[in-house]
Amino acid sequence: MIKIGLTGNRYSGKDTISRLFEQIKVPVFNADVILKFILNFDINVNKDILDNYGEYIFTGPESMIDPKKIRSKKDFDKLVNFAEFELKRAYERFRLEHKQSVYTIFHSSILFERGWDKDMDFTINVFAPKDVRSLRCEKITKQSSYNISELMKGEMDDLFKNKLADYTIHNYSSCAIAFGDTCDQVNRIDQKIIDKYLIKEQTLIKYSVK
């Protein structure tokens, strides 16, 4: 089974693209959601976080991690380190549940930032220009342009992610002329992945016969 990593910066439309893959029956593992669940509810991970940070990092009646207490990228990376092993185990269980599929998608906002792309056979970056993403963020969150700019300041460059990725899905209003609409792009990539899988299988059969 082929492993596909899907990523993109904030408000690029990763969730929308993931749903399009799900509509064509591709299993999608939402690593962002599972990571958040593990950090907040896995007993062993919680113990590691408590031992290293203390109770101050948790807040509210359900003792959830307070994002406001994570003040730096270093703090964030440290938290993810505690959960990474369990996250990868969860993905392997997910793959076993869908072993009849040609490929599964590992949907993560921090795929390249964490080096998880190295665990994938191919990667997809969902791209939208920064000004488009800023407008989407403003519309959804009602935040000021200054806050949005600060939020996006620490992101990996969009175009650099495109270079790192095997495939890029362009997700903005003017992209259809050059690249086709998002459905077309998803279908083309799906076919390319299936073709690569078939070639690989044919090669294995050829050498096994010899």
Judge whether residue 202 has pLDDT over 80: no
Judge whether residue 210 has pLDDT over 60: no
Burial 56-77 (b: 16+ CB within 10 A, else e): ebbeeeeeebeeeebeeeeeee
Domain boundaries, the chain: 1-27+102-210, 32-97
- Output the pLDDT for position 204: 62
pTM (2 d.p.):
0.91
> For residue 8, is it left (φ>0), alpha (ψ between -120 and 50) or beta?
left
Lowest mean pLDDT among 26-40, 44-58, 109-123, 195-209: 195-209
47-103 pLDDT per residue, tens: 999 898 888 888 866 678 888 888 788 889 999 999 999 999 999 999 999 999 999
117-154 pLDDT per residue, tens: 999 999 999 999 999 999 999 999 988 888 888 888 88
One-letter identity of residue 26: V
CATH topology of domain 1-27+102-210: Rossmann fold (3.40.50)
- Output the pLDDT for position 60: 67
Q: Which residues pair with 124 in a beta bridge?
A: 6, 167
Which of these, 60, 102, 65, 98, lies nearest to 80 by C-alpha position? 65
